[in-house]
Every structure is written in C-alpha cells, then in structure tokens.
Amino acid sequence: MPRPLIPDRVGAILDAAEDLVLRDGFDGVSVERIARRAGISKGAIYREFDGKHELMDALLTRCMRRLAERVRQRVVAAPAPVGLSAVYRFGLEALLDDALMTAAFLDDEAVLGSHARAVGGDRYRQRFAWITDYVEALHEAGSLATDARPEAVSLALSSFTIGLLSVNSMLGPLTRDQLAAAVDVVITFVERGLERPPEPAATDAHLLLLGRLTEQLGTDQEGRP
C-alpha cells in the first residue's frame, strides 16, 4: 500500500533532520532514519535532495531564514527606531535560542560532523562582508559615533559573538541568564561607545541588510521556497 501524501514534504523532511542532527550529530544520522522519522520513504527524500549534504545545506538555510525573520519582526515591532546595539541583541538572542544555528556559527563538529569539513570557508567571508556592509550603512545613516572602520567594528562584534557562543563549553555549564548578562555588558559598551540616537534611516539600514539576507536565502539550489 502506498504511503499517504504528506503536506509540505520538504518541511517534514527538514523537521525530522533537525531533530535527529541535534540529538545524534550529522554523521550519526542516515537518510533512512530521517525518512522513518518523517514518515516517508527513503526514495522520497532523494526526490527532493541529492544526498545528506544537500539536505543539511537546506536545513541550515532554513534556520538562517528563521533567524533573520525573528530579527526583522523585532525591528519592525519596535515603537521607535533602534540602533546597532538593539539589533545586535536581537540577533544574539535569536542565536542563543536556536541550537542548530549556534552549532553552525561555531562549526561544532559534534553536531555538524563531516558537513563542517565539507563546506569551504567562503561562508565566513560572506558573513563578515554582510556585517561590514551593515555597519557602513549605519555609519552613513549617522547612527554611529565612531571613526573606526566598519571592518574593525564588524570584526570586534563577530569576535565577541564567537566567544560568547563558545564560552559555555569552555567555562560552563552556564545558564541562559548568565549568557544574557554578558550580552547586556557588551550592549552597554556598544551603546556608550559606538552609537548616536538612531534616526529612521537606521531602520532602513537594518531592513535592507535583513532583506538582502532573506533574498539570498530565499531559495535553495533547486529553486524551492
């Protein structure tokens, strides 16, 4: 008897893969196990993805879209224009609440396994370029009170993010409240050392960056939404 059709089959596959990868790591999960968890045949997965690495790429892309949308919603919902410190907080809080994105940001091989080694370093350069362009746009909008080059600001913020996400394994276990308190300290430094009161143009810069990111992540290699 044929299996019943599953609405949003790709979504069901990615949901199953995310659960299993977070529990057992990429190398400990097979396409067959993902299919079984999703309630579909193994062949159905291969009709959507060429293999496990392509499936993982699609899963990480979905997580990035999810994170970008959470930040965008908070920017739009803010009662007044927000600055770099607020958007940085929004992004960090979204990262801390998303185990797979945290693993991806750190290239955690316990979770990503051989997939971390299979993907080149271009994603780091792209990530850094996005943040640098964003900081430059904020500077042009008059929202930053610093003459520091955008690359230097981007490097400083990226380095703190990596350190914050790594500290739990090095000094932990730390609670969510402890990590949030560390974020508060850095946000205070950003507010006092880098920011001017945000103008509406700052919101435009936030939404432009998030829009570019969402557009670039809008479809995977097969053109699926």
pLDDT in tens, 56-100: 999 988 998 898 899 999 999 999 899 988 998 898 888 888 999
The dihedral region occupied by 107, where left means phi > 0, alpha psi between -120 and 50, and beta the remainder, is: left
Q: Is 26 helix (H, G, I), strand (E, B) or coil?
A: helix
pLDDT band at 15 (very low <50, low <70, confident <90, very high): very high
Average pLDDT of the residues in 42-55: 93
Percent of the chain with pLDDT over 70: 88
**8 A C-beta contact, residue 204 and residue 81:** no
The gap from C-alpha 214 to its chain's centroid, in whole angstroms, comes to 11
Task: Tell me the one-letter amino acid at 191.
Answer: E
Q: Please answer whether residues 116 and 183 qualify as being in contact, where contact means their C-beta atoms are separated by less than 8 angstroms.
A: no
Band the pLDDT of 213: cuts 50, 70, 90.
confident
Say if residues 106 and 164 touch (Cβ distance below 8 Å): no
Which of 67, 59, 73 shows the shortest CA–CA distance to 98?
67
Average pLDDT over every residue of 181-201 = 87
pLDDT digits (tens, 9 = 90+) for 146-190: 778 888 888 888 888 888 878 877 887 778 788 888 889 988 988
CA distance linking residue 130 with residue 9, whole number of Å: 32
Is residue 205 pLDDT above 60, yes or no? yes
* pLDDT, the chain, mean: 83
Rounded to an integer, what is the distance from CA 130 to the centroid of its chain? 12
Q: Name residue 159's amino acid.
A: S
**Percent of the chain having pLDDT more than 90?**
28
Whole-number pLDDT of residue 127: 67
Does the pLDDT at position 121 exceed 60? no
- The domains of the chain, with CATH numbers, are 1-48 (1.10.10.60), 66-216 (1.10.357)
